[in-house]
Amino acid sequence: MRIAVILGSTRPGRRSEAVARWVLDVANARGDASFELIDLADVNLPFLDEPVPALFGEYAHDHTRAWASVVASYDGFVFITPEYNHSFPAVLKNALDYLYAEWNDKAAGFVSLGGGGGLRAVEQLRLVLAELKVATVRTQVALGRGSLQGGLQQHDEELHAMLGELVAWASALRSVRAIAA
Ligand SMILES: Cc1cc2nc3c(=O)[nH]c(=O)nc-3n(C[C@H](O)[C@H](O)[C@H](O)COP(=O)(O)O)c2cc1C
């Protein structure tokens, strides 16, 4: 079972980086899946420049094919997302829009941050992921101002609850992908 922890902020000085490190530390101590970081700053995609919508799977560019093979290699995703103007960052939407089949019939969970815990960002992200046939688990970790100041370890239990749901769904969806194939 391979789960990608997708770091959805590329802002210099981003708080999401420390959050992603905490998620990886907690997740990799569990032993039920392998969790790896995907930093969208390293993926470094241009704004969508594919002539054909991803639904058709006709990728023209090497950067798209490289991104497709990365995403295809995972069974599920943890999205680390800040809230920007009541939504999730544009760099994350761009990375999602590039692909289609590689996201399909996989599971996702969320760790969000923002003044109000990033809840609105996650509500919007769930709608977008539904179009990409990603099943999103209910339990989520929402980090508000107090959480970031008071220490992330106070959220370890919620994080484990979310990861438990995610690993179970990611495992179950393997059979859905086998039928689809
Ligand atoms: C462009 C921008 C817009 C933001 N809009 C919101 C917002 O609508 N609601 C909110 O709760 N926080 C908002 N924030 C605060 C961020 O969610 C918060 O600073 C978070 O730590 C940013 O994550 P990052 O440091 O990883 O980029 C905004 C921050 C930025 C940079």
Per-residue three-class SS string for the chain: CEEEEEECCCCCCCCHHHHHHHHHHHHHCCCCCEEEEEEHHHHCCCCCCCCCCHHHCCCCCHHHHHHHHHHHCCCEEEEEEECECCECCHHHHHHHHCCCCCCCCEEEEEEEECCCCCHHHHHHHHHHHHHCCEEECCCCEEECHHHHHHCHHHHHHHHHHHHHHHHHHHHHHHHHHHHHC
Domain that holds residue 45: 2-180
Q: Whose CA is nearest to atom 4 of ligand 1?
A: 84
Q: What is the model's pLDDT at position 76? A: 98
Q: Which atom in ligand 1 lies closest to the alpha carbon of residue 116?
A: 11
Given a cut of 80, whether residue 155 has pLDDT beyond it is: yes
CA of 148 to the centre of ligand 1 (A): 13
Q: What is the model's pLDDT at position 77? A: 99
Given a cut of 80, whether residue 149 has pLDDT beyond it is: no
Instruction: List the CATH number of the domain containing 134.
Output: 3.40.50.360
Candidates 9, 39, 79, 85: which one to mutate for ligand 1, based on the most atoms within 8 Å of Cβ?
A: 85
As for how many domains the chain has, the answer is 1
